[in-house]
Chain A
């Protein structure tokens, strides 16, 4: 086995995993704060990326487009809270989950209705090419775009961590995640908290959308990357930011390694399901996930 090649695949996989983590992060934020498994996260990624690129193509300056898109995502978050979540507030989690599937359809239809359904290229100024100095010195090809994406993801997590640690809203959000009752005593109404967290998730979706859009183009297929983030979630747990990151790395690496080393044996194309099987096998051994604590139902 070629060691350099192995490491190339491994590192490529880890970096791809970071991209999954980016999407998974949006899920975790919403789940922690509102107990909702937001299936529409992928549609939000698509919606954000498509809005952004369409604004840019209509001549808006990059940063301005970013700010406008962010504003749109905030409005979207508030609207979702008002129209979908509030009326369903005391329903079982499964009902809310199904509502977010409905939301997925609405968002997919809406984004294409407004902006059209043709694919767009998205240019962030970072080429998806191997870093030359690395290739020359070690023979390992690592895309500089992947490194950039990992950096952005790291930055995003850092920003979120600061937000949760040092702002009043952030602290309130953490309180809700721990205990809904306690949150009420922080003095921020639950509905505001939900609107805020959905807006923050919209922001995360925008970042993920930019990264994925730059890599694969902004197109309908972006909605499917959410499906890639799901195994990350069951591996890392719906409630753990750390889980989302570590889970993403594990899924990304094992998926790429399997594709290269196992794929040819079974006919290739296994990345569509391999991540799920890894996550499942893992759950069979450890149902509480990577970082979850074992919970015994109280009766």
Chain B
């Protein structure tokens, strides 16, 4: 069972342009899908499903959204949490005010609302670039949170701005257990990831990357700057919006506006840095890394305090976590600016040559 493409000849461009051109990869992804769709919900315990796997997938979707904008189209955004908030609160409103719509259409509409907000706050990208744009996206972050907190309509005039996600019933079937919520999340995320992959290997994806790499040349080739940038903002915010809706409905249940602060934006940004900018796979790896790291650290500190026989105060642990987080970011930027996805790719290249490097 070597990892090889020898003997697998491509007889058409269509075959050459498959998502997984190498057979072993296709086998691998099928196995992975079987595991996550069948084995995990059957065998995983409640805690792992609801507290780890589900949020992990939701973050992966948000990271994917940000990756489309920042990794592919090169427009640095610090407003991810705001787009997620729009998705979460608008999904709540659609479910509340148009109950006949159903869950999935509500999520889609919520995503579209996020996309609309994304386009509005993406407008400055037509005039400004780089850091200036990054700072401009902060405007979105602060404005959206403010609006949610001040405009009672959005939270249905709940006293503290806290909303409770409605029960999810799809085609008469309630999605109310951790396993079902996980499956719903997984299905949506898988589908959207596939769409993103298709988009990124088509003309739209190439236009995004062209704008990222060299905007003047892109324009000279005929790529429309305004259209491309705003489309990137729209698609990215759509993904983040749907992620936000699922964050509220499949994970948190009860949501306060403070769940969507700048910290969350940074968290998602870290995911794509660590996972790999401009990589769909990287969004997933990064989300897994950032979600699992605190759990790992907790276990580790638990072990250490057990060994030493002293209780490590919670504040110390959370500060250590901050430090480790920050240090890891710097570490990754220094060692592999293209993230874990690149390391994975390199490992695969090596494997291709192993054990005979010729």
Q: Give the complex CA separation of A277 and B142 in angstroms.
A: 10
From A83, A93, A233, give the contact of B135 (CB < 8 A).
A233
Interface centre among A95, A103, A273, A287 (most CB of B within 10 A): A273
List chain B residues, Cβ under 8 A from A88: 333-334
When distances are taken between beta carbons in the complex, the residues of chain B under 8 Å from A102 are: 325-330, 333
A101 interface contact, C-beta 8 A: yes
Residues of B in contact, count (CB < 8 Å): 44
Tell whether A104 is near chain B: CB-to-CB under 8 Å. yes
Residue in contact with A109 in the complex, picked from B128, B269, B322, CB distance below 8 Å: B322
A117 to B316, CA, bound (A): 10
Please give the distance in Å from B105's CB to the nearest CB on chain A: 31
Interface assignment of A68: CB less than 8 Å from any CB of chain B: no
A-B contact count (CB 8 A): 128
Contact B266 A113 (CB under 8 A): no
Given contacts A101-B266, A273-B142, A280-B139, contact A109 B320 (CB under 8 A): yes
Interface 0/1 of A73-94, CB less than 8 Å to B: 0000000000110011001011
Taking the closest CB of chain B, its distance from the CB of A39, in whole angstroms, is 9
Nearest to B132 among chain A residues (CB) is A234
For residue A232, give the distance in angstroms from its CB to the closest CB of chain B.
10
Which A residues touch B131, using CB under 8 A? Answer: 37, 93, 97, 238
Q: Does A231 contact B (CB under 8 A)?
A: yes
Whether the Cβ atoms of B333 and A268 lie closer than 8 Å is no
Q: Name the contact of B216 in the complex, choosing from A91, A105, A266, A297 (C-beta under 8 A).
A: A297
Contact B124 A106 (CB under 8 A): no
**Interface size range of chain A in the complex:** 35 or more
A8: interface (CB < 8 Å) = no
Distance in Å: Cβ of A165 to nearest Cβ of chain B: 28
Contact partners of B269 in chain A: CB under 8 A: 98, 101
List residues of B whose CB falls within 8 A of some A CB: 76, 123-124, 127-128, 130-132, 134-136, 138-139, 142-143, 145-146, 149-151, 216-217, 262, 266, 269-270, 273, 315-316, 319-330, 333-334, 337
Using a CB–CB distance below 8 Å, which chain A residues touch chain B?
Answer: 37, 83-84, 87-88, 91, 93-95, 97-99, 101-110, 112-113, 116-117, 227, 230-231, 233-234, 238, 266-270, 272-273, 276-277, 279-280, 283-284, 287, 297, 299
Q: List 13 A-B contacts (CB under 8 A).
A: A83-B330, A84-B334, A93-B130, A95-B337, A102-B326, A105-B322, A109-B320, A112-B315, A233-B135, A267-B151, A283-B132, A287-B127, A299-B216
